[in-house]
Structure 1
């Protein structure tokens, strides 16, 4: 039957039905539920709309492709402050479990960057990140789409507790696999782990330990919590938060979306250079941190990696020193 033989009113009605069904099929998966929409905002502990939309789209895409069965997904907003002052940390890492209608915001560190004296300064402050990038050995955060990978637990040494007991420090590292500009995350050894490290290392005689070397020594140090500081480009959580996050992804991968990407950084930098405010012009950036850093910058690996390599060649690291023997208390 030719279309012109169908009454125009019927054609119009059919068109409206098709449009409605099509809109419903596309809108349903992307519509943010009301309970989750209530957490959208600019305040501490809230998530910005663009960060949630991208994180949710990434998760739904991976679920649809059969790559993810985890009921929860993650997001991070690296434009927000890490330190709010008065020993209060900013909440900018988000754990979202839609099936159980659970939303939680926790603290997380950002990449410290580096200052190659006289060559390039891409270091970040403790509170706000100005520099971002994906270069090897840059210690910078790279925004974009990630999947959590394997969780590897390794022995780092012994430390003494407040109860005067020596205990082994076992730290778990969750490898991230990135896409696009973050595709070299595994090469950079980028992942998530507790913000804890042993400092002031020395060797203590303990031949009975399963971790002792062939001479019967074990590493010993002071356990330092740097949840309020920066990282080497990885995502660091407080020890308490890590104990909840890591089991969620162990043998059950999920997605992590980190904001901003290079396109966001370029858009905000362009707006700032024009003397306008991102809040008026569209691109999102946390207003408090933008005021502090002036303008953000993305350092692409093709530009920064040769600089780092040349700096390393011109400033060779001193030969490694042997770990000293501990002085017994």
Structure 2
């Protein structure tokens, strides 16, 4: 049998076409290159309120497309967060810095989200953050700091937190769902840190009340009771927190259908911005990004690596042991 010769140029074009076909088929519905941001999404890029900074979108999109190509994600939506933006704008207005992006339906939403409050270890070190802007970031256990980087949403767990008053002699149960995150790189200890997302709601001033008919009652027929507090405009223990309405929507999107979350900034971004500030350089002139109003407020950001901060926190806990747990008091009044 005689083989038919094929011109070299035609053979090369054929190989290239086959390679492209294989690449495209591996990308599922997310067939765009990370750099090919569609026009409708590009319209949302910027540094104004409700917009997403270019670097945040670029990294969030690249992470999502990578996980889709690997078969780890089939969710049509993905998330991003810009923790350099203000969380509390004042006068009851919350900063929108968490992004829900669904390219298949050309949907883009910017919503509010809490940030890690950090801690102040009296007489030792202060790595706390205010309500408006984050200065300190880190990945240490018990630091209550936000760590930027790549995450995947995982299992959802709903827990009963207690009852609260909704009206005259009317009570409701607070059931809060927690979405566990798994991180990569510097955020790889997210599960150990119990980092995830949930509604920014908590019960304060807890007491125990007799309610033997409740399915949540303990062996003595008692249930926890407290005052419902919404802290959507405040800080968290390092988790991502949303308003109750937004949390309900996000939970329904990712329950049994994981997707990606990219949180900006990473330690490399923090180091670069801090170095530029120390040298008196303009960030725009050297292609770095930080929210301008928050940078003016915090002066210079700082990343606290776990290898530095964890021994300090451990020593502080050893020197300041927690008091023995006290029983929750019995409720008084109606």
The TM tier, using the shorter chain, reads over 0.9
After superposing on structure 2, the runs of 4+ consecutive aligned residues of structure 1 that deviate more than 4 Å are 25-28
Q: TM-score, normalised by structure 2?
A: 0.91
User: Quick check: 1:29 aligned with 2:33?
Assistant: yes
Q: Could you tell me how far 1:28 is from its partner in structure 2?
A: 4.4
Using the alignment, how far apart are the partners of 2:285 and 2:247 within structure 1?
Answer: 37
SS at structure 1 position matched to 2:284: helix
Equivalent of residue 111 in structure 1, options 116, 128, 133: 116
Out of 128, 136, 140, the residue aligned to residue 141 of structure 2 is 136
Shift of 1:233: 0.1
| Secondary structure of 2:151's aligned partner | strand
**Deviations 1:26-51 (Å, cap 9, x if unpaired)?**
99422000000000000011000000
Distance in 1 (alpha carbons) for counterparts of 2:94 and 2:37: 27
Give the Cα separation in 2 of the matches to 1:93 and 1:48. Answer: 11
Secondary structure (helix, strand or coil) at the match of 1:177 reads strand
Aligned counterpart, 2:288: 283
Which of 88, 103, 112 is the equivalent residue of 2:93? 88
Deviation at 1:290, TM superposition (A): 0.2
Question: Which residue of the partner structure matches residue 120 of structure 1?
Answer: 125
Say whether residues 1:192 and 2:197 are aligned partners. yes
Q: Secondary structure at the match of 1:62?
A: helix
Q: How far apart, CA to CA, are the structure 1 residues paired with 2:254 and 2:182? A: 13
Secondary structure of 1:74's match?
Answer: strand
Displacement of 1:194 in angstroms is: 0.1
Residue of structure 2 equivalent to 1:264: 269
Note the alpha carbon deviations across 1:173-225, whole angstroms, 9 max, x for none: 00000000000000000000000000000000111111111111100001000
Report what 1:296 is aligned to.
Answer: 301
Root-mean-square deviation over aligned CA pairs = 1.9
Match of 1:215 in 2: 220
| TM-score when normalising by structure 1 | 0.92
Give the distance between the partners of 1:18 and 1:169, measured in 2 at CA: 58
Instruction: Specify every segment of 5 or more residues in structure 2 that has no aligned partner in the other structure, as ranges.
Output: 1-7, 25-30
How much has 1:169 moved relative to structure 2?
0.7
State the SS of the aligned residue for 1:29.
coil
Say whether 1:102 aligns with 2:107: yes
Compute the displacement of 1:18 (Å). Answer: 6.8
CA distance in 2, matches of 1:288, 1:267: 18
Which whole-Å CA distance do the structure 2 matches of 1:162 and 1:325 have between them? 21
Aligned partners of 1:279 and 1:326: how far apart in 2?
57
Structure 1 Cα separation of the partners of residues 114 and 321 of structure 2: 29
CA offset digits 1:303-323 (Å, max 9, x no partner): 000000000001111111110
- CA–CA separation in structure 2 for the residues paired with 1:193 and 1:120: 29
SS in 2 for 1:266: helix
- After TM superposition, give the deviation of residue 162 of structure 1 in Å: 3.4
The SS at the match of 2:68 is helix
CA distance in 1, matches of 2:161, 2:216: 10
User: SS of the counterpart of 1:307?
Assistant: helix
Offset of residue 277 of structure 1: 1.9
Q: Give the C-alpha shift of residue 164 in structure 1.
A: 4.0
- How do 1:35-184 and structure 2 match up within 5 A? 35-162=40-167, 164-184=169-189
Q: 1:205 aligns with which of 207, 210, 232?
A: 210
1:243 Cα deviation from its structure 2 partner: 1.1
